[in-house]
């Protein structure tokens, strides 16, 4: 772990917001006015393409990368330098090396996750794929190369398992995190395959799974069995991480070196199962989750058909239900791990997209919610971008 | 020889549905196609050199799976998008 250094200053945004929405059938941009009361939905981009992630480069606020494939065609990355007006495909999308003759090499099924590099590293991007692979681009997403040794390391390959060991549409590498104080301090997570940290720019990695629970009957010491769904790093206290895991909600203060299951403080009838994890941009004690039913056969819809976000303002000691504006019943929502996010405004704006194609927002840190769009295709990701 | 391009790939071929390229084998034809239309090959052939799961390639109306198959100048090649669900 890096020595403690000064955390970056809180960034407070003031203008309008764009929501970058990736769906199973294309991408959309939802733009607000300056008050965030009025929103306008774009025409679909890449209609019919499966868009797992659409991300704006916060370093220039103009470049966007889109991780996509179609039902028939293989995975690729498209790049726009004019905020989505025109797109060009990457010259060399993320791909595993060709295996020697007679050996079975891996094939990227889809690019799942995109993370812009450190503010000091212009043009650098990271990508996580399914099956699990870590890739990097040094030229703004035009060419991609395998990054670090993990894609071919026997130990990591064992932890990654086979394509049958992951989520229904394939095991994923996700939650690529960069310490804002140090571009060489990195994290990534795998479903399945645990959480991993590097303090030397990816030359070496250490698994950080101590304190995490696994499915009953399996050994917590085996990294393979750990299934983080979404890991986030506090922007203003990078030594604090939060995680929504297959087996609960956790917080880690790096000085303690172990995950604490703060989800145990959630109401028992709601539980602490879900996909997204959202952090306050300026307060490291405040975080949001969107619980889903993890009982019996794991329905993973809003418990009881009553959607609600939950917020903690004390690092996970207590949680408060936030459901004002949501349907009161018969709303069986699923929100995927990339489909809930916050903006950098005060109060914080929250946004989520459901697999049933609805986008909901709160201008007040979750205290009330309104529907911004409905009838979209199945939503995979929602990212906020400051305009 | 003529390669018939499915609609899903015509964004690469400037909307052309058939393209004339040279090559002694299917691998050479695909390489020539990719040289002219960069990026097209990777969308249908994996990094391991195999035809992607939901792509089929027919030569003279016979499905081929081996890219080393020899071709004749008069051969017609059909690239087909096949059954990927809704």
Residue A343: closest CA among A298, A294, A282, A299: A282
pLDDT at A288: 98
Q: Are A288 and A275 in contact (CB under 8 A)?
A: no
Max alpha carbon distance in chain B (Å)? 37
Pairs of CB atoms within 8 A across A/B: 53
Burial class (CB in 10 A: 0-12, 13-18, 19+), A227: buried
CA of B15 vs chain A CAs: smallest distance (Å) = 16
pLDDT at A5: 65
Q: How far apart are CA A193 and CA A223, in angstroms?
A: 6
Alpha helices in chain A (DSSP H): 154-160
Contacts of A236 (CB under 8 A, 6+ apart): A7, A8, A9, A10, A281, A282, A283, A284
High-pLDDT (> 90) share of chain A, %? 90
CB contact under 8 A, B8 and A70: yes
Contacts of A320 (CB under 8 A, 6+ apart): A310, A311, A312, A313
The complex's ipTM? 0.94
pLDDT at B86: 67
Nearest CA in chain A to B34: A91
Q: Which of A31-35, A295-299, B31-35 has the lowest mean pLDDT?
A: A295-299
Nearest CA in chain A to B81: A72
Retrieve residue A179's tokens.
């310490």
Chain centroid, CA B53 distance in Å: 14
Q: Are B21 and B13 in contact (CB under 8 A)?
A: no
Contact of A47 with chain B, judged by CB distance below 8 Å, is answered with: no
Residues 104-133 of A with CB under 8 A from B: 104-108
Retrieve residue A257's tokens.
């070196």
Nearest CA in chain B to A89: B39
Q: Are A23 and A378 in contact (CB under 8 A)?
A: yes
CB contact under 8 A, B47 and A73: no
- In this predicted structure, the answer to whether residue A156 has a pLDDT above a threshold of 90 is yes
Nearest CA in chain A to B46: A107
Note the pTM of the prediction, 2 decimals: 0.96
CA of A105 vs chain B CAs: smallest distance (Å) = 6
CA of B21 vs chain A CAs: smallest distance (Å) = 21
pLDDT at A387: 82
Residues of A in contact with B6 (CB under 8 A): 72
Q: Where are the beta strands (DSSP E) in A63-124?
A: 64-69, 76-80, 88-89, 110-116
pLDDT at A2: 52
Mean pLDDT of chain A: 95
Mean pLDDT of chain B: 95
Q: Which of B7, B46, B83 to mutate to test the interface with A (most CBs of A within 10 A)?
A: B46
Nearest CA in chain A to B50: A107
Q: How far apart are CA A194 and CA A188, in angstroms?
A: 9
| Peptide bond before residue A192 is cis, with ω within 30 degrees of 0 | yes
The per-residue pLDDT for range A83-125, each reduced to its tens digit, is 999 999 999 999 999 999 889 899 999 999 999 999 999 999 9
Give the CB-side neighbour count of residue B14, counting CA atoms within 13 A: 4
CB contact under 8 A, B47 and A70: no
The per-residue pLDDT for range A164-204, each reduced to its tens digit, is 777 778 999 999 999 999 999 999 999 999 999 999 999 99
Q: Pick the residue with more confidence: A3 or B85?
A: B85
Residue B26: closest CA among B58, B78, B73, B71: B71
CB contact under 8 A, A98 and B49: yes
- In this predicted structure, the answer to whether residue A297 has a pLDDT above a threshold of 90 is no
pLDDT at A162: 80
Nearest CA in chain B to A25: B86
Q: Which of A19-23, A159-163, A268-272 has the lowest mean pLDDT?
A: A159-163
pLDDT at A14: 80
Pairing verdict, β A64-69 and A350-353: unpaired
**Shortest CB distance from B42 goes to which of A71, A93, A105?**
A93
Q: Which of A46, A47, A74 to mutate to test the interface with B (most CBs of B within 10 A)?
A: A74
CB contact under 8 A, B47 and A104: no
CB contact under 8 A, B48 and A105: yes
The per-residue pLDDT for range B34-69, each reduced to its tens digit, is 999 999 999 999 999 999 999 999 999 899 999 999
Q: Which of B9, B35, B38, B43 to mutate to test the interface with A (most CBs of A within 10 A)?
A: B43
Q: Are A158 and A194 in contact (CB under 8 A)?
A: no
Q: Are A77 and A90 in contact (CB under 8 A)?
A: yes
Residues of B in contact with A95 (CB under 8 A): 42, 47
Residues of B in contact with A89 (CB under 8 A): 39
Residue A46 is classified by DSSP as S
Hey, which CATH number is domain B2-81, 3.30.390.10, 3.40.190.10, 3.10.20.30, 1.10.3210.50? 3.10.20.30
Range A231-257 average pLDDT: 97
Burial class (CB in 10 A: 0-12, 13-18, 19+), A199: middle
Degrees to nearest 5, angle at CA A367 with A365 and A370: 90
- In this predicted structure, the answer to whether residue A4 has a pLDDT above a threshold of 60 is no
Q: How far apart are CA A271 and CA A292, in angstroms?
A: 8
Contacts of A304 (CB under 8 A, 6+ apart): A269, A293, A329
Nearest CA in chain A to B84: A71
Degrees to nearest 5, angle at CA A284 with A233 and A1: 45
- In this predicted structure, the answer to whether residue A153 has a pLDDT above a threshold of 70 is yes
User: Predicted confidence band at A345 (pLDDT cuts at 50, 70, 90)?
Assistant: very high
């Amino acid at each position: 772990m890096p020595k403690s250094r000064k955390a970056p200053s809180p960034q407070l945004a003031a203008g309008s917001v764009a929501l970058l929405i990736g769906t199973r059938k294309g991408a959309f941009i939802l733009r607000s006015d300056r008050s965030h009361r009025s929103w306008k939905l774009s025409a679909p981009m890449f209609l019919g393409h499966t868009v797992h992630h659409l991300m704006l480069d916060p370093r220039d606020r103009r470049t966007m990368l889109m991780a996509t494939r179609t039902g028939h065609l293989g995975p690729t990355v498209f790049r726009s330098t004019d905020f989505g007006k025109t797109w060009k495909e990457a010259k060399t999308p993320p791909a595993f090396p060709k295996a020697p003759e007679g050996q079975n090499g891996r094939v990227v099924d889809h690019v799942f996750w995109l993370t812009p590099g450190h503010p000091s590293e212009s043009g650098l991007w990271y990508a996580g794929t399914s099956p699990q692979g870590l890739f990097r681009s040094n030229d703004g997403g035009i060419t991609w190369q395998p990054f670090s040794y993990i894609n071919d390391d026997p130990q990591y390959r064992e932890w990654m398992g086979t394509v049958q060991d992951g989520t229904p549409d394939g095991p994923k590498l996700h939650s690529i995190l960069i310490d804002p104080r140090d571009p060489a301090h990195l994290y990534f997570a795998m479903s399945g395959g645990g959480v991993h940290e590097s303090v030397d720019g990816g030359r070496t990695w250490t698994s950080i799974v101590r304190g995490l629970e696994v499915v009953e009957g399996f050994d917590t010491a085996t990294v393979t069995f750990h299934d983080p769904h979404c890991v986030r790093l506090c922007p203003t206290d990078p030594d604090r991480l939060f995680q929504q895991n297959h087996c609960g909600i956790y917080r880690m203060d790096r000085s303690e070196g172990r995950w604490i299951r703060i989800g145990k403080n959630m109401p028992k009838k709601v539980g602490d199962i879900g996909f997204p994890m959202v952090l306050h941009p300026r307060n490291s004690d405040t975080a949001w989750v969107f619980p889903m039913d993890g009982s019996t056969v794991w329905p993973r819809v809003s418990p009881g058909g009553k959607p609600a976000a939950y917020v903690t303002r004390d690092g996970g000691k207590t949680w408060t239900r936030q459901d004002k504006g949501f349907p009161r019943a018969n709303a069986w929502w699923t929100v995927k791990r990339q489909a809930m996010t916050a903006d950098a405004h005060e109060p914080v704006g929250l946004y989520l997209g459901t697999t049933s194609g609805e986008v909901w927002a709160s201008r007040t840190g979750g205290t009330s919610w309104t529907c911004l769009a409905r009838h979209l295709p199945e939503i995979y990701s929602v990212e906020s971008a400051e305009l | 020889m003529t390669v018939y391009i499915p609609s899903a790939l015509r964004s690469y071929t400037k909307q052309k549905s058939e393209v004339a390229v040279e090559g002694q084998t299917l691998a050479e034809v695909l390489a020539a196609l990719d040289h002219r239309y960069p990026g097209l090959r990777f969308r249908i052939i994996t990094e391991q050199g195999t035809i992607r799961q939901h792509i089929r390639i027919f030569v003279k109306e016979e499905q081929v799976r081996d890219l080393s198959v020899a071709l004749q100048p008069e051969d017609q090649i059909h690239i087909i998008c096949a059954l990927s669900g809704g």
